[in-house]
Structure formats: C-alpha cells, structure tokens
Amino acid sequence: MVTAIPSAVPNDAFSASPSHSPYEASTQHKHWRYSRTALDEQRASLNSAAVHVIRNAFEIDDPGSSNAISFLSPADEYLLVKLYISKVGQLCAHFHMPEVVEATACSYIRRFYLRNTVMDWHPKNVMLTAIFLASKTTNHPIPLEQYASHIPNTTPSDVLDLEFLVAQSLGFEFVVWHAHRALWGIYLDTQTLPDISFHTIHDAYIASVAHVRASRLSDAELIYTPSQIALACFHIAAPVLAEQWAKAKGESDVISLLPAISDMILQEGKPPDLERVREIDKRLKICKNPEKVVGTKAYLKKQAEEEAKAKEKREKKAAEIRALEDARDPFGGELDPEGAAKIERAKQLDEDDD
C-alpha cells in the first residue's frame, strides 16, 4: 500500500543557512528530512491505516477472525526493517559491490517503509529489490540472473516484481547524498591542519567509517544532513580533531549539535535483538495482509476488483477508438491527419495498458 507522499518536515535547527548548498536544493533535503516527532507520526499514521485496511480484509475473508490477531506496532515494523537493513552489507560484500551501493540500498529500504508497511511487503523481498535497483542507479549494475542465482530460493521475477513499486515509493528519486562521502571530505580537509600527524588523522578516519556504517541502522539520515552525520561520526572517533576541523572551517556552531547526533548513532546503530525480531516475524505470518496472500477470499476479491477496473478502462478506450473510426468518410474518403493521429494515439495507449 503506497501512501500519498506528505511534506517532509525539516529539522529547523539544521536547515537555516545564509546561502543554499547543492544539498539543500536536492530532493533528499526537500522530501526526505523530518523532525523526530514528524517521523514518529508518519510511521504511526501509516501503521494505523494499514491495520485498519488489513483488519477489514480479514473480516471479508472470515468474519470475526481479526479479533484474535495481534497486529504489528510501528516499533515492531521498525525493528523488522532494521534487521534487513543490517543484512545489506553482507549481501553487497558477497557481490563485491562498492560502498555507495550498500549505502543507497539502505536508504531506499528506509524510505520505502515511510510509504508502505511490512504487513503488505516483507522486508526480505524489498531488500533484494532495493540492492538490485541501487546497483543500477549508482552505475554498478549486476546481471539479474547472476544476482538471483547467488541468493537461495530467489528467482529473477522475485527481484523484478517489486522494482516498480520500490521506485514509485521513492518518488523515482534515486540520487542519495551519503555521509561516507562527506566524511571523506573531512578526512582530506584535516590533512591540511597544522601539527597533526597523518597517522592520527588516518586512524580517526578508519574509526569514523565504522560509525558511519552504524549510522545506517539509525534514523539519522532522515533527520540530519550527511555532513552533520559525518562530523558526528568523526567526533565520536576523535573529538579534539573534529572540533579543530570545525573551527578551521568556521563551523563552530555545529559542535553543539553533535552530542544528539552521536547519541542517536551509538544507541540505534546496532542490529536489533534477533529473538525479538523472530517473534515479530512469527506474528507477521498471521497478520500479513490477506489481499497479498494468493488464494484467500480477500485476495480473490481484490483481483476481481482490479480486473473489473481494467476491463472498464479497456472498454472505454475501445469505445473511443470506435467513435473516432466512425468519424471516417462513409464513402471511403481518407480520415483527416488529425483524426488519424487521434486513433493511433488511442490504440497505443490501449497497447501500453496491456
């Protein structure tokens, strides 16, 4: 279930700037940044709407059956999604994909579940599609057959079937600004600071990279900018060096923001408890939307409704084509060019829908 895309609510403390950077002009800044409160409200609203729809679907399938079902909470959904985000790195490493693919896939999954619920689409399937899509959007494509053949119980159609849904849920906004790239910039900048050895800087950078990777398990990228996350990670690894860099760049004001970002990364940047997630996944098998389960009454009803809509649309277009063709000269004269073009366009639209 893809929800209408609401306006993201920026964290005002980080959006004020005398001059707009390229990042501030990006779709990421405009559509994918939230305050903590707005982010929680978005997830709660999405979960509530999903439970309402799924409860009704269960009632269609078996009246009274929804009363005994323990639906997932927003926190349950978050933990399940988080588990599969934590697995992205392992799969990308298996295929020797660069870090940009891993980081982009993590962002795609996180964004997808701001528009959809795990009770409709299981994170395992979305993860596989997100990685494959990210490999293409970052210009590191892998052949579909090769990709699917290395993943147990996975066919090419398992990957492709969700690709349009994932892309649509992202608003077809595929470019992601990443903290690991901002961190590289800080690493290069710190090498120009006086009286600091390269080994000190390099060790701080290596430690910071680990924190950036951990940040992908948190909500940091939905609340803070990539450069703020990068500096926070650098500050965790080497606080004195990070503050020296900030002062040298005239960014001393940002130092006061770093503790909150660092706390989020340190607290949330760990995979969830596996036993807890297994319990959630077990419940998901029971509360999964029956409209997505082949063979249920709700599924058959949904399929029938969609087929009826498609049939109505085809019949409407067929009627339009007949009306245009009836406008031809009954004595065999040629249809005017504009009329012929209209018929051709109508036929093409009909073929596209098929």
Q: Which fold has domain 179-268?
A: Cyclin A; domain 1 (1.10.472)
Q: Calculate mean pLDDT across residues 160-171.
A: 95
State which amino acid sits at residue 9: V
**CA 198, CA 190: separation in Å to the nearest integer?**
9
Neighbours of 202 (CB within 10 A): 13
Q: Calculate mean pLDDT across residues 137-144.
A: 95
Equal fold, 12-176+271-292 vs 179-268: yes
| Superfamily for domain range 12-176+271-292 | Cyclin-like (1.10.472.10)
**CA 244, CA 342: separation in Å to the nearest integer?**
67
Lowest-confidence pick of 62-71, 224-233, 343-352: 343-352
Domain ranges within the chain, ordered by starting residue: 12-176+271-292, 179-268, 297-353
181 close to 208: Cβ distance less than 8 angstroms = no
Segment 310-334, tens digit of pLDDT: 666 776 776 766 676 666 655 555 5
pLDDT number for residue 27: 84
Segment 101-116, tens digit of pLDDT: 999 999 999 999 999 9
Per-residue confidence band for 338, with pLDDT thresholds at 50, 70 and 90: low
Nearby residues of 253 by Cβ (< 8 Å), 6 or more positions away: none
Of 142 and 340, more confident: 142
Residue 29 backbone class (left: φ over 0; alpha: ψ -120 to 50; beta: rest): alpha
| Burial label, 27 (beta-carbon count in 10 A; 0-12, 13-18, 19+) | middle
pLDDT number for residue 119: 92
